[in-house]
Chain A
Amino acid sequence: MDILLEAKGLTKAFGGLLAVNSLDLKVEQGEVTSLIGPNGAGKTTLFNLLSGAVSCDKGNIIFKGEDITNLTSSSICQKGIGRSFQITNIFPKFTVFKNLQLAVLTRRRKNLDFFSLAENLPKEETLNILSELKLIDQANSLAGFLSHGDQKRLDIALALASEPELLLLDEPTAGLNPQESKEIMGLIYEIKNSRGMTVLFIEHDMTVVFSISEKIRVMHLGRLIAEGKPDQIKDNNEVKRIYLGE
């Protein structure tokens, strides 16, 4: 399979702390993989590096054959990497519909349109994404008043609206009850199938991780220490030692 994203020798230090330590990563086109690891392993920092939220000290990131190292987060997003956040990150004073409308307008590069009335723009496409993520009933509620589960879904919807080829999900089920997490992961799988997107997600819930991932990567102290099919990871001694606590 084609390599969609490749990171070589990625390094990021915060003061004396090496959050990501010369990490190599290859993400293949169309795979759904999870990234696990104990707290402080550097998973979110890795996402921040890939999405341009922080700049890396050393190393390269190649996306679709193009060097995207240290580009701004907005241009990385335009090149096709979308992400959601661990702590929901939405526009609280907009309605759900308007949240997505803004993302769709942006993907269509309509932000510099000064004199059209925005409320009439990409209605249909916005509604499509809303129904895809089962948010259609909440379309007119203010995003800030949604339940936590719905906000999580909206966060993912915002990432999807920019039609990324690689979707990075940072703990999509954090703080959700088992029923809600199941729903969200079901949705992600559906979307992956219908859009043929590549998904990389950070997750702590092991039932979710082992049920949905085609491949699991394990991070520890800023490095990838294991990578493989769920069964291989279950049997990996080092992973057991540092992560599963056996």
Chain B
Amino acid sequence: MKNIVRKLFDWQLQWWLPSCVVLVVVGFLLDAFYVYLTCVMLIMALAATALNLILGYGGMVSFGHGALMGVGGYTVGLLLIYTGIGTPIAFIAAPFATALITLVIGYFCVRLHGILFSMLTLAFSMMLYAIAHQWYSFTGGDNGIVGLPSLVNSLNNYYIFVVIIVIACLMLMWRLVNSPFGWTLRGIQQNPERPSFIGINVRLYRMIMFVISGFFCGIAGALFCFLDGQIFPSLMFWSSSAEILIMVLLGGMSSFLGPCLGAALVVILKYLIGAYTIHWMIFLGVILFATILFRPEGIFGLFEKIKAS
């Protein structure tokens, strides 16, 4: 019994479970629009945390995570319109398909470091975008894929589903970055040269983390696709990858929960200020500017500093 309790604490369930409950309860109190908004926040939080696996913990700046989300979304969309399989199977297939694509991209990218790595991910993301955007007979081009069946029967139920999936993924990722594998990656991030001389195959571990990151991004993409019942190529455009990157930078890539905070902030700005003015990006720009200048460790880093003092 004692052992089981310890195991649960090892997984930090004392934090994850209450957050799950709070989020679900909050969902019942909010209007439909805000439920929808919270859904988007949670999904983007998942994508941003997935990016942070390789960015904050692996030192790889990817400009392709929007496209990877898109791969997840399009997997769902294409499976549903071309095959007769059910929505749950399409949902499960999405992360695996995304991981497969990430494997191909990663095979080339992890050989490179720094700006070259970023540019190559950007190149791959533009190729994926081009496929989604221009192959009309297969992907529907810029008309996207619309009118997909939903996974559960109402927005509220879907919200609960999203909360559970996102929290479960966050829990897994938290465990991952604190595992020997996660430490190996952090070592590589700090010093890409030394690990080989203590016996670490740097390329292999970068590759594995890249694929895992793609896997979780695929889940986020699938969740996003089912939220609206539609998927458009705009999700795969580079600006959407940049948005995820901004979320991570804003929240703080040195902390695990930073990207979640960043995601929430960007989504709020986009939808709330975006409702009043199309120039919401100006506000985002000012905040990002101030963060990078005064708090390069991100907003969450500020919290941690206050806590430490």
Contact = CB atoms under 8 A, between A and B. Distances in A.
B145 interface: no
Contact of A98 (B176, B183, B198, B205): B183
Nearest to A110: B180
Interface stretch (B152-160, B185-193, B264-272, B292-300): B185-193
Contacts of A237: none
A219 B195 CA distance: 29
Interface in A54-94: 72-75, 77-78, 82-83, 85, 89-94
A163 B179 CA distance: 23
A106 B184 contact: yes
B176 A74 contact: no
Contacts of B202: 74
A94 to B, nearest CB: 7
Contacts, number: 101
Q: What interface size band does chain B fall in?
A: 20 to 34
Interface in A82-130: 82-83, 85, 89-94, 98, 101-103, 105-107, 110-119, 121
Given A103-B198, A162-B199, A116 B179 contact: yes
A51 interface: yes
Interface residues of A, number: 40
Contact of A116 (B180, B193, B205): B180
Contacts of A200: none
Contacts of B10: 117
Contacts of B179: 113-118
Nearest to A103: B198
A90 B190 CA distance: 9
A53 B195 CA distance: 12
Interface string B146-178: 000000000000000000000000000001101
Contacts of A106: 184, 195, 198-200
B198 A102 contact: yes
Given A116-B180, A118-B180, A77 B190 contact: no
Given A90-B191, A92-B190, A117-B10, A111 B198 contact: no
A105 B196 CA distance: 14
Contact of B198 (A72, A77, A119): A77
Interface of A: 51-53, 72-75, 77-78, 82-83, 85, 89-94, 98, 101-103, 105-107, 110-119, 121, 158-159, 161-162
Given A72-B196, A75-B201, A102-B198, 5 more contacts: A89-B194, A106-B200, A111-B200, A114-B176, A117-B178
